[in-house]
């Protein structure tokens, strides 16, 4: 949803679902959130080439719906428009994949934020050939997720450092397949990162602590005017 009138801020709240996921939409979902975000990105891109800002407090959702949003972000970025992303509470599961897709150098989190990632969840039905086709489809979606993390974050480097993996494994950093393997190793368990850990892993680029004027810049509030207003209101 676009935040306020004449704003270039999109809020990514609720859960990430699309119209093809109607059978699993739950009570706390915003129906068809993926389509709303997709449309909002292109609407704002059509208005001007100014940066688009996305604010995340999100529990995640479906891979296919999330990748729809990632795809829109990539198309907007290809037009020369930055997509700045700010986590204000939690960025969980698929929301963190969207977070990683933001413009490098412009992915932020407030200092108490949590970034959560995990391996893909699989619920595959059918038998025989139908099962294999469904598995192939989910494998393709999962690969897109892992490839994005491998290419747009420092998770492979972070994992090597944290686990003190043998130097010979550092050659895995030199190509996408090796980096994907390291991402998968890192995500074999549920992973919860503080804002500063997420920065070290290259999922975000900067942490915004209290008093940092960057938060007001993101929300298009002139810090000088706010400061003057506060001064004028004091007795």
What's the pLDDT at 227? 43
Task: Name the DSSP letter for residue 127.
Answer: -
Mean pLDDT of the chain: 84
pLDDT tens per residue, range 135-144: 788 888 899 9
Predicted TM-score of the model (pTM)? 0.84
3-class secondary-structure state, position 92: strand
In the numeric block, the tokens 């604010």 are attached to 55
- pLDDT bin (cut points 50, 70, 90) of residue 166 is low
- pLDDT bin (cut points 50, 70, 90) of residue 122 is low
The fraction of the chain above a pLDDT of 70, given in percent, is 79
3-class secondary-structure state, position 60: strand
Q: What is the mean pLDDT of residues 114-138?
A: 75
Residues in contact with 7: Cβ distance below 8 Å, sequence separation at least 6, in sequence order = 220
Q: What is the mean pLDDT of residues 19-45?
A: 71
What's the pLDDT at 139? 86
pLDDT tens per residue, range 89-109: 999 999 999 999 999 999 999
**Residue 114: closest CA among 196, 208, 28, 55:** 196
Q: What does the alpha-carbon distance between residue 70 and residue 64 come to, in Å, rounded to a whole number?
A: 10
Catalytic residues: 93, 118
So where are the chain's domains? Answer: 1-118+190-223, 123-188
- Is residue 33 a contact partner of residue 2, using CB atoms and an 8 Å limit? no
Q: Which CATH superfamily is domain 1-118+190-223 in?
A: 2-enoyl-CoA Hydratase; Chain A, domain 1 (3.90.226.10)
């Amino acid at each position: 949803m676009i935040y306020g009138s004449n704003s270039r801020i999109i809020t990514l709240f609720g859960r990430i679902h699309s119209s093809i996921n109607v059978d699993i939409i739950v009570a706390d979902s915003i129906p068809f959130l993926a389509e709303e975000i997709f449309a909002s990105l292109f609407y704002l891109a059509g208005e001007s080439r100014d940066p688009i800002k996305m604010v995340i407090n999100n529990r995640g959702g479906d891979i296919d719906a999330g990748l729809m949003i990632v795809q829109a972000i990539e198309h907007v970025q290809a037009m020369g428009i930055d997509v700045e992303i700010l986590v204000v509470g939690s960025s969980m599961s698929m929301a963190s994949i969207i977070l990683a897709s933001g413009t490098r150098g412009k992915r932020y989190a407030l200092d108490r934020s949590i970034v959560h990632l995990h391996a893909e969840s699989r619920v595959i039905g059918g038998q025989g050939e139908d099962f294999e086709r469904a598995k192939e489809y989910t494998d393709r979606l999962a690969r897109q997720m892992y490839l994005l993390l491998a290419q747009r974050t420092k998770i492979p480097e972070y994992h090597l450092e944290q686990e003190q993996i043998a130097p010979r494994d550092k050659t895995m950093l030199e190509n996408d397949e090796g980096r994907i393997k390291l991402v998968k190793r890192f995500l074999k368990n549920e992973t919860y990162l503080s804002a500063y850990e997420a920065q070290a892993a290259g999922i975000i680029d900067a942490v915004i602590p209290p008093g940092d004027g960057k938060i007001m810049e993101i929300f298009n509030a002139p810090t000088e005017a706010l400061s003057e207003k506060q001064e004028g209101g004091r007795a």
